[in-house]
Amino acid sequence: MTTATTREAQMHPDLKAFSVEVPVGDDAKMADLNEALDELVEATNRYIQKVAKELQVTEECATAVWYLRTRSRWTQAHETELIRLHRAGTPPNIFDWP
């Protein structure tokens, strides 16, 4: 039996959290998972490029914005400050910020 634990977290409305079970020992299911993950990476790259264009920022900044949007600490105020810092030439280490 599989149990799932969920919790509500504030995230950017464009994004949704999910989890998967890794099908260890099942080569066919593992191949399906790898294909799905490859598609996720491609979709993420397209999303980052879209964010860069919409916000008129570099892809480096858009990547940091994407990462922040995936975190429960995301707020519009944090995102605005992150973009300001990138534009000022002082991007923070997004993994330790805010």
CA distance 61 to 32: 32
Q: For residues 85 and 92, is the Cβ–Cβ distance under 8 A?
A: yes
- Which secondary-structure segment (H or E) carries 22? none
Give the tens place of pLDDT for each residue, 16-41.
Answer: 888 888 999 999 999 999 999 999 99
Distances (CA, A) of 32 to 16, 20, 25: 21, 12, 13
- pLDDT, position 3: 46
Residue with tokens 């916000």: 55
Extents of the domains making up the chain = 33-93
Asked whether the predicted pLDDT for residue 84 surpasses 90, the reply is yes
Q: If you average pLDDT over residues 44-72, what whole number do you get?
A: 97
Q: Tell me the backbone φ, ψ of residue 10, rounded to 5 degrees.
A: -75, 120
pTM of the model: 0.82
